[in-house]
Amino acid sequence: MTPENVSARALELGADDALIFRMDQIVFDSRTLLKCMYGCEDWGKGHTCPSAPGSLKPWEYERILQGYEWGCIVHSTSKKISQDISFTLEREAFLAGHYFAFSMSDCAICQECAGFKGKPCVDPGRARPAFHSVGIDVFATVKQFDLPLSTLKSEDEVQNWYSAVFVA
């Protein structure tokens, strides 16, 4: 499995864009935690939220993620498609011998997270944290690849969703 195969596969699966990155191109910034704490209605509820019991802090994620060599950023205007593609790529990388392959995306498994109702995660084997919730500055990271991302000014605007698969 080569990086080129992974990006081509993501496009084949329906990604709007799929780009290979090196770890030195991922921009970490712990301030993302502040935006989660003071700007996201999921705080304290979602199972993949950095507020979830036992969740690592952004600086801990950064240390762990630095053990990866490269990965693929997946862009879609559909949150579910972005997540489904990253899961597929993770599985295929794993089966190709990259046993530490790990996908990250804003969770879209359920219509509404069971955590919002105080219930356990219905699919903990697939639930993953989003880029921003682990301390990655998504704006700075994707801008260097000329991928579309801007602050939404209204709910009518098309939202861009990003996921990634990290490969060691």
Choose among 130, 131, 26: nearest CA to 71: 26
Choose among 25, 26, 65, 20: nearest CA to 168: 65
Asked if 85 and 16 count as a contact pair (C-beta separation under 8 A), the reply is no
pLDDT for residue 114: 81
Better-predicted residue by pLDDT, 157 or 26: 26
pLDDT for residue 22: 96
3-state secondary structure of 8: helix
Q: What are phi and psi of 99, to 5 degrees?
A: -70, -15
> pLDDT band for position 141 (50/70/90)?
very high
> pLDDT band for position 135 (50/70/90)?
very high
pLDDT for residue 39: 82
> pLDDT band for position 164 (50/70/90)?
very high
> pLDDT band for position 145 (50/70/90)?
very high
The count of structural domains within the chain is: 1
Q: What are phi and psi of 83, to 5 degrees?
A: -70, -45
Q: Which domain holds residue 157?
A: 3-167
pLDDT for residue 83: 93
Range 93-122 average pLDDT: 88
pLDDT for residue 157: 87
- Amino acid identity of 114? A
Question: Residue with structure tokens 């060691």?
Answer: 168
Q: How far apart are CA 115 and CA 14, in angstroms?
A: 29
Q: How far apart are CA 125 and CA 118, in angstroms?
A: 19
> pLDDT band for position 29 (50/70/90)?
very high
Q: How far apart are CA 32 and CA 133, in angstroms?
A: 7
